[in-house]
Amino acid sequence: MSKRHLFNSADGLVDKALRGIVAYNPSLRLDEVNRVVVDGSRDSSSSSSCTVSLISGGGSGHEPAWAGYVGSNMLAAAVQGDVFASPSTRQIMAAVDAVPGREGVILVVTNYTGDCLHFGLANERANSGHGRCRILICGDDVSVGRRRSALVGRRGLAGQVAVLKVMGAAAGAGSSLDDVYDLGVAVSTQVVSMAATLDHCHVPGRTGHGPLAEDEVEIGTGPHNEPGFKKLSPVPEPAELVRQLLRHMLDDKDDDRAYVRFVPGDETVLVVNNFGGMSPLEMGALVDEVLQQLTGEWEMEEPVRVYAGTLETSLNAPAFSLSVVNIAAAARNCNRYSVDDIKAFFDAKTNTCWEAVAGSQAGHGTPRRRRRREGQLVKPAPAPPKSVNPGRDLGVDAAVLDRMLRGACASLVEAEPDLTRWDTVMGDGDCGQTLKSGAAAMLAALDRGLAKSGSVGEVLVELEDVAEGKMGGTLGGILCIFFVALRSAVEEEMGRGSSASSSSSPAAVWASALSTALDSLRRYTPAKVGDRTIMDTLIPFSDAMKASGFDDGVRAAVKGAEATRTMKPKLGRASYVGARDDDDGHEMSPDPGAWAAMLVVRALQRGFQGSV
């Protein structure tokens, strides 16, 4: 876990955060003394005071919960405690007084002891003061089964945010206190959730919880560093981790955890929550994996709504939770609202943080249908095949060509760890993996018989496609331009017919074409020898090969790549990261692009000579 924070103490942190939250949402008001955030359009001083006021809250550290959900069609107010600590009854009563609602107030909280006690006492006091108040305690975590939770019920996870959205939209539509409350009960009892964490979070200024081992993941964890019910080691592949979570959530044969029954055809909502430390890239991949397993292994209907992002965090925890809401069952248990009504409540627009995860999923018409995934995942039309003109092609011995190419690809795959390490220090760390991906694609093409005809033109066409389709980043762009120019130059050399090139050796054709291709590449990059780039290998290789042959070209390439160890980078990201002003003349790691190019030409030489 990371123990580094911008604010190294929790003292005053919640107050500053709340002032910041209301600063970028001018419709909100903040009672600083009681840490109550109020929707300014619905407080007791407003002429548009709502019929039913929804109030939630809890400990801080779960942002955007709860203050981030104050606004239209969600909460009328939120109450924030200290980090991971319930707000006091006095704070909660300040929220009730601020947004009394014409019909009354509903307090919605997650099932944690402090929250239940303080919100429960506030509920009693509000009702004793002749107001109308209800309390709904939400528990959706299935990791704590019935046998262990018989007295306290299920813990609360991010499934509660879905409940808040539905209830808030119903209240915003003018529904009665009883109808909004009954809807909340119906939905909250049809949610199953479970979390998994790669490590615990760290609270500023506090002693950290013991970290998980590098080869461990914990499932069934809570949002306050509560331990899960199982640690898995070694860490399973993502698909297997998701499989285990869904099995605990959905298996109706597990009597201890089958809190919600799913009937074939039931419409559901999927909520994937980031505890704060997961990258959006991984969250997207996680959503895809969950959807594949729900519709595949579980044979469920595709969820009618999918919400993913930071809904209820645990500070900086690298963790996530999955929630499945059975809205069909909720509608069956709620006489007032249909499945389409519940979907409409999910779709109702707000001016809160909910919109960051909601997107636009309603579709058009009635009933409200979300576009299915097969309608979203489109395949481009196949590109027309590139042909090679036999009259402008260079033919060589097929076995030698295959051996040379396989050796070059193998050298890149083997060197990937070093290339990645060097590029991480001096650049963005993608060089090794980019080249490994390209090499793997070329090896697959060779296995399909790419070199069996001995056509250099066909190999260069494949290299173009691999560089363009499989190799991103700066290096991928450079190589794609280079291979396109190289193929064009080879065709030009071979197409001169009866000129001197028709009797030239393949090495002479290569030397001339390589020089022409580098001239083309120079139109797109200012890199030259001495700039610590791939050109420190390619230019000496080309010049020496043109002057005195392939072997001298390889020697020049090796010398050029080695020379980059003492060069200060002058281009690209490496020019402003990873190198100091006093690095000139001091040996460093070589430039990974230059080194990779050297490995390739050296492997080509060995393959040509018959040893790989």
pLDDT in tens, 142-177: 998 787 766 678 889 999 999 999 999 999 999 999
Q: In the chain, what's the furthest Cα-to-Cα distance?
A: 105
Work out the average pLDDT over 228-234: 91
pLDDT band at 8 (very low <50, low <70, confident <90, very high): confident
Q: Which of 364, 307, 368 is nearest to 339 (CA)?
A: 368
- Burial class, 493, CB count within 10 angstroms (exposed 0-12 / middle 13-18 / buried 19+): buried
Tell me which residue has tokens 């070199």: 451
Which among 61-75, 460-474, 574-588 has the top mean pLDDT?
A: 61-75
Of the ranges 224-233, 284-293, 318-327, 532-541, which one carries the lowest mean pLDDT score?
224-233
The answer, as to whether pTM is greater than 0.85, is no
CATH code, residues 192-205+212-376: 3.30.1180.20
Residue 316 or residue 371, greater confidence: 316
**One-letter amino acid of 288:** D
pLDDT for residue 197: 96
pLDDT at 35 over 90: yes
Residue 526 to residues 284, 472, 516, 608: CA-CA distances in angstroms? 37, 20, 16, 32
Please check whether residue 276 is in contact with residue 261, taking contact to mean a CB–CB distance below 8 angstroms: no
3-state secondary structure 23-75: HCCCCEEEECCCCEEEECCCCCCCCCCCCEEEEEEEEECCCCCCHHHECCCCE
| CB-based contacts of 227, cutoff 8 Å, min separation 6 | 218, 221
CA dist 223 and 2 (Å) reads 16
pLDDT for residue 47: 46
Of the ranges 143-152, 174-183, 194-203, which one carries the lowest mean pLDDT score?
143-152
| CB-based contacts of 226, cutoff 8 Å, min separation 6 | 155
Q: Which of 445, 422, 452, 437 is nearest to 579 (CA)?
A: 422
Work out the average pLDDT over 279-305: 96
CA dist 260 and 250 (Å) reads 8
Give helix 456-470 / helix 473-494 axis angle, nearest 10°. 160
DSSP for 223-272, please give it: TTS---SEEESSPPPHHHHHHHHHHHHH-TT-TTT--S---TT--EEEEE
Q: What distance, in Å, lies between the first and last C-alpha atoms of the chain?
A: 45
* Torsion sign (Cα): 202, 203, 204, 206: negative
Residue 554 has phi, psi (to 5 degrees) of -65, -45
pLDDT tens digits for 84-113? 999 999 999 999 999 998 899 999 999 999
Q: Quickly list H helices, 455-549.
A: 456-470, 473-494, 506-521, 535-548
pLDDT at 441 over 90: yes
Work out the average pLDDT over 463-480: 86
Q: What percent of the chain shows pLDDT beyond 70?
A: 92
Name the token pair of 176. Answer: 């009665």
Enumerate the known binding-site residues: 59-62, 115
Which residue out of 118, 202, 224, 248 is catalytically annotated? 224
Please check whether residue 159 is in contact with residue 291, taking contact to mean a CB–CB distance below 8 angstroms: no
Tell me which residue has tokens 């590139």: 386
Pairing state between β 230-232 and 77-83: unpaired
pLDDT for residue 124: 95
pLDDT for residue 195: 96
Of the ranges 262-276, 293-307, 334-348, 380-394, which one carries the lowest mean pLDDT score?
380-394
CA dist 313 and 64 (Å) reads 7
Name the token pair of 75. Answer: 């909460």
pLDDT at 208 over 90: no
Q: Is 196 strand, coil or helix?
A: strand
Which among 129-138, 295-304, 573-582 has the top mean pLDDT?
A: 295-304
Of the ranges 6-10, 146-150, 383-387, 485-489, which one carries the lowest mean pLDDT score?
146-150
Give helix 177-188 / helix 339-347 axis angle, nearest 10°. 100
DSSP for 351-380, please give it: SSTTHHHH-S---SSSS--PPPHHHH---P
| DSSP-derived secondary structure letter, 569 | P
Work out the average pLDDT over 395-405: 94
| CB-based contacts of 141, cutoff 8 Å, min separation 6 | 154, 155, 156, 157, 193, 194, 195, 220, 222
Residue extents of the structural domains in the chain = 13-150+161-172, 192-205+212-376, 398-609
Enumerate the known binding-site residues for substrate: 59-62, 115
Instruction: Assign domain 13-150+161-172 to its CATH superfamily.
Output: Dihydroxyacetone kinase; domain 1 (3.40.50.10440)
| DSSP-derived secondary structure letter, 207 | P
pLDDT for residue 206: 77
| Domain range 398-609, CATH architecture | Alpha Horseshoe (1.25)
**One-letter amino acid of 18:** L
Q: What's the order of all strands across the beta sheet hosting 305-309?
A: 230-232, 217-219, 191-197, 319-326, 268-274, 305-309
| CB-based contacts of 127, cutoff 8 Å, min separation 6 | 133
Q: What percent of the chain shows pLDDT beyond 90?
A: 67
Name the token pair of 334. Answer: 């709620």
Indicate if 200 belongs to the active site. no
CA dist 96 and 122 (Å) reads 8
Average pLDDT, the chain: 89
